[in-house]
Structure 1
């Protein structure tokens, strides 16, 4: 009674208020109330659990993990909390610890579909697609309506990383059959839309064959399910604003931060778009904030974040009345995938943050680049292809930076030939491992320098496969290959600045890393791919007149790399040419002017 008289809430009232606020997307308010509930009643496991969920939605994984662990300490037999703990650990790439938490959950509750789903996620993150599919299927068998498990089992037929014996053609055929089953299941399941986006066929992009037909089927399924939700929610497509007003442009992304998608092309568009003609709004789906996010906030007309659940975002973006929505990438983030399957603006476009077609009928256009696409590229897209000049990027020039690399600290001799191989494990197809061995054979004194990042299980699978390829070629693996720890950006640039050659990944090229090499004056050897995703480095090099660094075939790639690695004078000449030629990449307004013309044209046509 005294609490009422003095306007104080009880722990239960704070709990209810905080839970409601967090569910509505008001994370700061929710966290404050839930913390207050725990102050008033320290042994309140429900408050600790919901606080963990609120912290997680707010992007504070450390605080979320602490709150979840507090809930587990208060109720040690609460299996659900161990799944939430494991999910955070997996996102942090701490896979071994995540699996231990899941084993605890399954010991408490053996037939627990959510725990099996998360166990599948852990296996998938470590590159073990077979174990992942087994866990997903077991989860689906225990709960036939558990759409997320069915969806995960289908999508995970495309492995993150090849084993030595992976048959990509067979994996694609199995995925197609799984799509048949998903389509049949979804027809009779009214809540099937909830599975959209949690697992996506992201790793199809690393197959150097056309994915248009498979992704068109997949995208049509996703959009049809999301349309069910949109119709039920009453979100009718919006007409465009009044003529004469500034055109309202919205960019929807979970990566408005120090991320490759933002750095490659989105940042330049945001900075250079003419605000007299365009009103720019950024919908930041992630809770992550850094210096790049602050730059975005200071530049845009509107910056929107913290809406929580995807349904809140859908209503908010719809009510924001954008004339054009751009999704810079579709494939990396579940909320983005769900929203992209909706019709929230009269004109919707995606771009090359995920460098292949989305397959979604809700995407009208695909914004790409003249320098990056091969002839006849439209055949590989369901969207209408819009080619912007050059690489489509406005890139800041930046100051030259030189810092000596400490090769000895990494276990390498200071005077050897160092060939930088910067790709993540899934960018290296098993069919191309022999190319790396052939380069090593042709440059006996060189070291191929790879980078070992988390998760450790994935790195181990890649290293085992590469070792097998070198042994098959009759080469001593340790003599030619070294894996060094993943480097912070400044340290990585120092390695690039003092290395001898950069070997681009074949089939799925690098852009940001190749750009860093060019900035550092390091010659890049690349094999031109069949599709845009395999032409990111070659397009950049051709754009600046360094065509001689682009190989037309696998054999030519090996020949060029070997020739340059064995010819220091030629490499030095290329370094000197790069220093002048690279200027063409920077501060080019032509792509942004073309983007503005595109906006005006497509909005006028509606």
Structure 2
């Protein structure tokens, strides 16, 4: 079958239809139907494309390319179960199984069917272990589903070091508290995903504006943890000295918070439909003095735009609490608790410690519903240990510590978020294996932000995860007067809660070993007087005077901006 390179799509479609009509018994009809499906799909005729792919598969059942494309079309139609069934049953030679397995694993993961997704991606890796993106998803699936040990039986052909380096930067924060290893993992990911740009756009010496032009770059200007933290800082910037731009690739969610964020910007610049180069050139055209990336190595990041160096000074802040080793970034905004001076050499870009707590917050008091323990399925007289972090942050070591605390405090229960069914089943099984009744773990259903905050007021003690601590959730817990026990390690992510506890004046909740962590938490659960003292220290506006002092935080952030404006 001849290719139709260079022809207009409609001409190609007509040509294939004509050929098919004139060649009813050709052995190449399967190829014509497949090519017709590709052209119809590219032209927006999804139904016609699906008919063509089915015809191709009827003629050649092992044409895995047609199975892949038909499954993607079914997925786009909202027929996920049909897509999964098709990919599961598709015939193909062994060397062609990989794309079918990978698409099936991806879709299963998106539906939170983690156990089946993990098995599917492992099958793909057993065929070809040299698939970094598949390794990243497989490893993170095991974290999210609490499938322990985290690397299972390993993957033949992959060393422990190779699996770690290809496990992805987000998973790395919950895998190790070694910032040097986190940096290596980030470097490996960037090398695969974000090539250097061909030129630097911003003038090295910067600009001479009367007001410093600060650009915030984010995909999370919405009802997202980042949005809740950053909104009041945007509102409080001194407009006599700063002009605030927001470069936004956020999907519209219609929320009050999004409207508030956009209103807080002097210039709201949507860049979601722009290429990385186009976004960078738009930032350069605005002559931004300091560009602050709010994503880091997280979903939605515009790292390619940063690599064009569209601003003379570029910093990363808050979105990813670890090294972001892109040469075009100049600063990592932090504080001296999350990145102690002795660890600074392991980070890229170089740390920029603020004069106090690194974390921005919104001081506005939210309106919360009145809820009871009974409504949340909690025993009225229990001592409630709470952790509302995502499951992928829960490690076997931390969960083992929680079980040790529950064994020492028979009246206590553990309250977790209902993250996913695979993780819930595995955690219950691990509890039983540790000699703790599975019924002593209560799972809170997903809820809106106001109910989530109200729930924190029902708990007695927040028990943190390690090596990836709570950040926003820890601040919320302290705001609700809930004491925290955290384990502080070496890396930024493993010191976030320690920074918050230091700021609010409750350092007794900071442990440096797992045994100390267990002892402190067990003391809270069994010594009412000690627990009451911690509660009292958080009363009478302690959070508002420290963590929630956004006016003071804005002054400190602006002082840092003025220091770095001409000193990249």
Q: Is TM-score (shorter-chain normalized) higher than 0.5?
A: yes
Distance 2:535 2:350 in 1: 39
Q: Aligned to 1:360, which of 294, 315, 326? A: 326
Alpha-carbon offset, residue 368 of structure 1 = 0.8
Count how many residue pairs are aligned between Structure 1 and Structure 2: 507
SS in 1 for 2:217: strand
Distance 1:482 1:380 in 2: 39
Distance 1:123 1:579 in 2: 45
Name the Cα RMSD after superposition: 3.8
Q: Aligned to 1:164, which of 129, 144, 148? A: 148
Aligned residue number for residue 471 of structure 1: 432
SS in 1 for 2:247: strand
Verify: 1:120 aligned to 2:105, yes or no. yes
CA distances 1:326-362 after superposition (whole Å, capped 9, x unpaired):
1122222255243344422222111232110012222
Decide whether the 8 Å contact of 1:204 with 1:211 is kept in 2: no
Aligned residue number for residue 120 of structure 2: 131
Aligned residue number for residue 287 of structure 1: 251
CA distances 1:99-151 after superposition (whole Å, capped 9, x unpaired):
6424325757855876544323245562654632543786x89xxxxxxx944
Matches within 5 A, 1:141-220: 150-156=131-137, 158-160=139-141, 161=143, 163-167=147-151, 174=159, 176-177=161-162, 200-213=168-181, 215-216=183-184, 218-219=186-187
Distance 1:238 1:175 in 2: 43
Aligned residue number for residue 21 of structure 2: none
Alpha-carbon offset, residue 510 of structure 1 = 0.9
Alpha-carbon offset, residue 256 of structure 1 = 0.9
In terms of Rg, which structure is larger?
2
Decide whether the 8 Å contact of 2:200 with 2:308 is kept in 1: no
Q: Aligned to 1:601, which of 537, 540, 563? A: 563
Aligned residue number for residue 402 of structure 2: 436
Decide whether the 8 Å contact of 2:169 with 2:182 is kept in 1: no
Aligned residue number for residue 374 of structure 2: 408
Alpha-carbon offset, residue 277 of structure 1 = 2.4
Q: Aligned to 1:254, which of 219, 224, 248? A: 219
Alpha-carbon offset, residue 300 of structure 1 = 1.3
SS in 1 for 2:539: helix
Verify: 1:327 aligned to 2:293, yes or no. yes
Decide whether the 8 Å contact of 1:205 with 1:533 is kept in 2: yes
Distance 1:113 1:430 in 2: 31
Alpha-carbon offset, residue 254 of structure 1 = 0.7
SS in 1 for 2:457: helix
SS in 2 for 1:390: coil
Q: Aligned to 1:445, which of 403, 411, 426? A: 411
SS in 2 for 1:502: strand
Distance 1:239 1:315 in 2: 16
In structure 2, relative to structure 1, the CA distance for the partners of 1:543 and 1:217 (3 Å cut) is closer
In structure 2, relative to structure 1, the CA distance for the partners of 1:426 and 1:274 (3 Å cut) is same
Alpha-carbon offset, residue 210 of structure 1 = 1.5
Decide whether the 8 Å contact of 2:201 with 2:281 is kept in 1: no
Aligned residue number for residue 447 of structure 2: 487
Alpha-carbon offset, residue 255 of structure 1 = 0.5
Alpha-carbon offset, residue 369 of structure 1 = 1.9
Decide whether the 8 Å contact of 2:201 with 2:311 is kept in 1: no
Aligned residue number for residue 487 of structure 2: 527
Distance 1:491 1:221 in 2: 37
Distance 1:548 1:466 in 2: 29
In structure 2, relative to structure 1, the CA distance for the partners of 1:170 and 1:351 (3 Å cut) is farther
Aligned residue number for residue 83 of structure 1: 72
Decide whether the 8 Å contact of 1:133 with 1:156 is kept in 2: no
Structure 1: stretches of 5+ with no match in the other structure = 1-11, 13-44, 53-66, 90-96, 142-148, 183-198
CA distances 1:551-606 after superposition (whole Å, capped 9, x unpaired):
23211211221221223444334323212322222234344333323333333236
SS in 1 for 2:380: coil
Distance 1:283 1:493 in 2: 29
CA distances 1:47-102 after superposition (whole Å, capped 9, x unpaired):
996798xxxxxxxxxxxxxx97x67887783753632654797xxxxxxx746424
> TM-score of the superposition, structure 2-length normalised?
0.77
Decide whether the 8 Å contact of 2:367 with 2:450 is kept in 1: no
Decide whether the 8 Å contact of 1:238 with 1:321 is kept in 2: no
